[in-house]
Amino acid sequence: MKKADVVTFFDRLAAAMPEPKGELNYVNPYTLLVAVALSAQATDVSVNKATGPLFKTVTTPEAMLELGESRLKDHIKTIGLYNSKAKNVIALSQTLIAEHGGEVPRDRDALEKLPGVGRKTANVVLNIAFGEPTIAVDTHIFRVGNRTGLAPGKTPLAVELKLEKVVPADRRLHAHHWLILHGRYVCKARNPDCPACVVRNLCAFKGKTTLEGPPAGKKPVAKKKAAKKTVKKKATAKKSAAAGKPAATAKTRRKAGAAKGLKDVS
């Protein structure tokens, strides 16, 4: 994507979402860290349902250790992989107390050394809790970066590094939220809402959807299945003709099935 188009791309996202915000609920940097760690392979909605009651009483590493792993599991058992996530939350809480005075460090390397915390989680915490212009590449941003041509890359890190190069300096702070929300609600994986997309004319995606139907050049799924079925029937008939046998019809297939049923019970 050309530099001028990138500028326009983010200008339009900014106009559509003047004050973008993350959708995970939290109280302070520590609870944000916990929420993001729990959100791996889970929806923000499911995490918020679990952490709502939890964060009413647990807002520090000390309180989390007092709660204990067993009771933490009771709070988060509706979230996928809750057993391993509970262990990581207890372990990272212990590390925060032992090595950081109970505070969440404002440093990516230090964050990534915490149990269960990877680069994406570290970037989210740095961006939301500390206002750092980091870009956490999740599945949505990875898709948007590649699909639109904004920041193509084979890995999340490649997309992140590309975004760091092309995103205008004055848009870096909110770039993460604009892209993730755009990917989550507009540039969706299976059925992108291209007609409602504010950057559709800048996007390189060839399979854009329209108000009239599926992407240009693509047949509806039902028609594809019907076409395959027709081709299969023709192939079977051709094979039967070559062998000198009459092609099977629906009626002959029903008779054969009935005969088989009688034979099975005789």
- Write down the pLDDT at residue 49: 95
Same domain, yes or no, for 198 and 260?
A: no
170 is catalytic: no
Alpha-carbon dihedral 114, 117, 120, 122, rounded to 10 degrees: -30
Confidence band, pLDDT 50/70/90 cuts, at residue 249: low
Give the structural domain span for 247. Answer: 221-265
Query: Into how many domains does the chain fold?
Result: 2
Distances (CA, A) of 35 to 49, 101, 137, 212, 223: 11, 20, 17, 40, 44
Where a domain ends, among 192, 212, 232?
212
Same domain, yes or no, for 109 and 18?
A: yes
Q: What is the pTM of this model?
A: 0.75
Where a domain ends, among 191, 212, 233?
212
Same domain, yes or no, for 60 and 184?
A: yes
138 is catalytic: yes
Same domain, yes or no, for 152 and 254?
A: no
Compute the average pLDDT of residues 79-100.
95
Among residues 2, 85, 107, 138, the one annotated as catalytic is: 138
Among residues 3, 120, 170, 232, the one annotated as catalytic is: 120
Question: Counting beta carbons within 10 angstroms of the beta carbon of residue 96, is it exposed (0 to 12), middle (13 to 18) or buried (19 or more)?
Answer: buried
- Write down the pLDDT at residue 233: 62
